[in-house]
């Protein structure tokens, strides 16, 4: 039984190296690691790194990152949670903000299904809804549907970051606010040897090339956003890594049951790389906030492709 699981997970890990469409790779990645992340984070429904808020549990730190991300969004309001995962952010924020309605969007169907169940358990299913779909080609026919949109630790997965920014601009009301919390590269120097390590890790995680904060700034400005504010929250997020290490140690037996030994090693190396990447200053974590122009790009839809 456990051998079957190991073989299946080993094959999925190998598939991440194949030249498959990006959306399929993300699906495989969350099929592969989604359940393990659930083992680590418990049934809180959060899948982000967290923001340390003084002696908190991992789930509390993860909730704190979401609270910090939406601090500038309008209340009351209709919010879009982009890359909502298993719904921890949408459900927790809906409980804490009774005047908001939230629509969660995620590419991974199983996560969306779990998010719906979580909304039932939090008793917010009347105000929180979830949809399957790609953030770079959102499944919303109408424009200007939301007063605010946020994306917690998901945009690093997106291969079409320009398409994503255009889609956020399309579905936001003019003047609506967007906030994105994510890993960013610290600079553009791709010749340094550590960059090869970064590229290897990105490949093994099925991630495309990450943006720097400056690249995000340009991307959002091109899509019609203004008043951009970039806050470096690296210290607070990476302070949560010991909480992850603790949970990894506590769940080691489960990890070894699920994954072949080389993959377990690679998961540990990925966590170590995160810590070393931070220490070497290659990797940062940013909160990027922006407002959509009151009249975005005149009457031509920035999404174009929709």
Binding residues for ligand SAM, rule: CB under 6 A, are 26, 30, 46-48, 83-85, 88-89, 105-108, 111, 134-136, 152-154, 157-158
Q: Is the dihedral of CA 89, 161, 239, 277 positive or negative?
A: positive
Please state, in angstroms and rounded to a whole number, the distance separating the CA atoms of residues 306 and 300: 12
Please state, in angstroms and rounded to a whole number, the distance separating the CA atoms of residues 306 and 159: 17
Quick one: 48 or 219, whose CB is closer to ligand SAM?
48
Quick one: 40 or 185, whose CB is closer to ligand SAM?
40
Tell me how far, at minimum, the Cβ of 90 lies from ligand SAM, in Å: 9
Tell me how far, at minimum, the Cβ of 133 lies from ligand SAM, in Å: 7
Give the residue at shortest CB distance from ligand SAM: 85
Quick one: 102 or 213, whose CB is closer to ligand SAM?
102
8 Å CB contact between 152 and 83: yes
Tell me how far, at minimum, the Cβ of 62 lies from ligand SAM, in Å: 6
Sheet of strand 128-132: strand arrangement:
128-132, 100-106, 77-82, 146-152, 172-185, 283-292, 225-232
Please state, in angstroms and rounded to a whole number, the distance separating the CA atoms of residues 233 and 239: 10
Tell me how far, at minimum, the Cβ of 223 lies from ligand SAM, in Å: 16
Tell me how far, at minimum, the Cβ of 108 lies from ligand SAM, in Å: 4
Quick one: 83 or 148, whose CB is closer to ligand SAM?
83
8 Å CB contact between 192 and 252: no
């Amino acid at each position: 039984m456990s051998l079957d699981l190991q073989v299946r997970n080993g094959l999925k890990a190998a598939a991440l190296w194949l030249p498959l469409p990006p959306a399929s790779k993300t699906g495989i990645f969350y099929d592969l690691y989604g359940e393990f992340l659930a083992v680590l984070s418990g049934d809180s429904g959060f899948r982000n790194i967290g923001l340390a808020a003084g002696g908190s549990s991992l789930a509390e730190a993860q909730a704190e990152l979401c609270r910090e991300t939406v601090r500038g969004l309008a209340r009351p309001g209709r919010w879009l949670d982009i890359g909502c995962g298993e719904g921890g952010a949408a459900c927790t924020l809906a409980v804490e903000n009774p005047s908001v309605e939230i629509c969660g969007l995620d590419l991974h169907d199983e996560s969306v299904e779990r998010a719906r169940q979580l909304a039932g358990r939090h008793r917010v299913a009347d105000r929180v809804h979830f949809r399957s779909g790609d953030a770079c080609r959102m499944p919303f026919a109408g424009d200007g549907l939301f007063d605010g949109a946020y994306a917690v630790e998901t945009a690093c997965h997106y291969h079409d970051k320009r398409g994503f920014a255009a889609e956020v601009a399309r579905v936001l009301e003019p003047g609506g606010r967007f906030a994105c919390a994510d890993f960013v590269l610290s600079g553009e120097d791709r010749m340094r040897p550590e960059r090869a390590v970064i590229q290897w890790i990105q490949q093994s995680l099925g991630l495309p090339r990450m943006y720097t904060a400056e690249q995000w700034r340009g991307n959002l400005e091109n899509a019609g956003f203004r008043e951009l504010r970039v806050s470096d929250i690296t210290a607070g997020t990476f302070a949560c890594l010991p909480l992850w290490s603790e949970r990894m140690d506590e769940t080691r037996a489960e990890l070894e049951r699920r994954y072949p030994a080389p993959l377990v090693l690679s998961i540990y190396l990925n966590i170590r790389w995160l810590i070393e990447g931070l220490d070497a200053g290659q990797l940062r974590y940013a909160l990027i906030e922006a407002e959509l122009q009151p009249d975005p790009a005149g009457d031509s839809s920035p999404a174009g492709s929709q």
